[in-house]
């Protein structure tokens, strides 16, 4: 009996130049009566501890032979077409590997679409901002810890210039340039000087929203956010608002959704509480309206901000935020089905 090595060499060096040789090749290596086939039938006579590796080797040979056959079939077909001068229009097209959208983009677009459907317009703006748009206009006290070097990346030698820590800066920019009614969402990249771990990163994405008009109430905000949560996570989702604090909103709240994995029963994702936090929100502080040239006696509004990485991690149950920044195709290609 020929050794595996011998057969491998034969497969590799077999000259196939025409259809006849191709058929000979197929008979010799891939038909029912081929040497490879008889090797498969000998597997049962082989010592049990060697069976697995023997089987693997024979399978590899079979794959190799198959590959060569396909390769030559392609070549012969191409040659036939070239010869006749006519392309074979019945031939299946080549498989084009399609990319997929990044999960963060998928999620940003989904959030955007939901708000655009109810009349919000997306606005974008600079990643590199000044102190006024990120902090001062938003009612951050001079000594507020968020301004601290620990949280904010400042541009060296320019304490006034920094990387935005939230996209609320775009809300300021919008209010400065436009009178109510205002309905905007602000998607974008934000930066915070934090240690990188599985749960936190120094870069992430937010979508923040702002609605300012006459007689806007907390109830309007709650209804809007409920609508959002149900479109995002399904019609059975419930929300709850917990009191919180942000310098630019009063009152402020954090919003939880009922855990959409366990439906509120308690599971690992919601740490057995039945709820997961998804955003911060509140009624725009009158000082902020005033800072931006809007009359707080005439107008009121609400704002909210959500972290896209966090939501994406919840929606796709990924447990490490760093995966979103590594661009490992093995991770990214899992989002093909969600790419639209």
Nearer of residues 14 and 227 to ligand PHE, judged by Cβ: 227
Nearest residue relative to ligand PHE (C-beta): 305
Beta-sheet strands, E only, within the chain: 121-122, 128-130, 154-155, 158-163, 182-191, 203-213, 239-246, 249-258, 275-284, 300-307
Least Å distance, CB 173 to ligand PHE, is 14
Q: Which residues bind ligand PHE (CB under 6 A)?
A: 166, 168, 208, 246, 249, 280-282, 303-305
The closest alpha carbon to 204, from 174, 245, 165, 233, belongs to 165
CB contact burial 62-79 (16+ within 10 A = b; e otherwise): bebbeebbeebeeebeee
H-type alpha helices, 151-250: 168-177, 218-233
Number of Cβ atoms within 10 Å of the Cβ of 257: 26
CB of 252 to ligand PHE, least distance (A): 6
SS3 of residue 5 by DSSP = helix
Nearer to ligand PHE among residue 171 and residue 258 (C-beta): 171
Minimum CB separation of residue 208 from ligand PHE in Å reads 5
Please check whether residue 271 is in contact with residue 256, taking contact to mean a CB–CB distance below 8 angstroms: no
As measured in angstroms, the least distance from the Cβ of 215 to ligand PHE is 19
234's tokens: 């399904």
Asked if 162 and 134 touch (Cβ cutoff 8 Å), the reply is yes
Q: Which is nearer to ligand PHE, 204 or 335 (CB)?
A: 204
Q: Which is nearer to ligand PHE, 34 or 171 (CB)?
A: 171
Q: How far is the CB of 203 from ligand PHE (least distance, A)?
A: 14
Q: At what angle do helices 103-117 and 308-315 cross, to 10 degrees?
A: 100
Residue 302 Cβ, how far from ligand PHE at the closest point, in Å?
Answer: 8
Q: How far apart are CA 298 and CA 294, in angstroms?
A: 8
Toward ligand PHE, which CB reaches closer, 225 or 270? Answer: 225
Residue placing its CB nearer to ligand PHE in the complex, 26 or 166: 166
């Amino acid at each position: 009996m020929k050794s595996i090595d011998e057969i491998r060499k034969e497969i590799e060096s077999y000259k196939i130049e025409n259809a006849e040789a191709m058929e000979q090749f197929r008979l010799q290596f891939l038909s029912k009566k081929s040497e490879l086939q008889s090797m498969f039938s000998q597997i049962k006579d082989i010592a049990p501890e060697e069976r697995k590796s023997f089987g693997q080797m024979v399978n590899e040979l079979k794959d190799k032979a198959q590959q060569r056959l396909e390769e030559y079939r392609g070549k012969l077909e191409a040659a036939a077409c070239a010869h006749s001068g006519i392309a074979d229009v019945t031939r299946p097209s080549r498989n084009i590997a399609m990319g997929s959208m990044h999960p963060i983009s998928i999620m940003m677009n989904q959030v955007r679409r939901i708000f655009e459907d109810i009349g919000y317009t997306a606005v974008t703006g600079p990643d590199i901002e000044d102190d006024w748009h990120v902090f001062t206009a938003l009612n951050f006290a001079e000594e507020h810890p968020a301004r601290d070097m620990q949280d904010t990346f400042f541009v060296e030698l320019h304490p006034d210039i920094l990387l935005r820590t939230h996209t609320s800066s775009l809300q300021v920019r919008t209010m400065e340039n436009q009178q109510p009614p205002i309905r905007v969402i602000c998607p974008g990249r934000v930066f915070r000087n934090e240690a990188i771990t599985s749960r936190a990163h120094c870069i992430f994405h937010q979508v923040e929203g702002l609605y300012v008009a006459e007689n806007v109430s907390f109830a309007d905000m709650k209804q809007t956010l409920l609508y959002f949560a149900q479109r995002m996570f399904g019609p059975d989702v419930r929300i709850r608002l917990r009191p919180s604090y942000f310098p630019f909103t009063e009152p402020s709240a954090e919003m939880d959704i009922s855990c959409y994995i366990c439906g509120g029963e308690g599971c690992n994702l919601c740490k057995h509480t039945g709820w997961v936090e998804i955003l911060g929100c509140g009624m725009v502080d009158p000082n902020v309206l005033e800072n931006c040239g809007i009359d707080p006696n005439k107008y009121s509004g609400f704002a909210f901000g959500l972290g896209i990485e966090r939501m994406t991690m919840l929606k796709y149950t990924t447990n490490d935020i760093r995966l979103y920044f590594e661009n490992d195709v093995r991770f990214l290609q899992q989002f093909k089905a969600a790419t639209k």
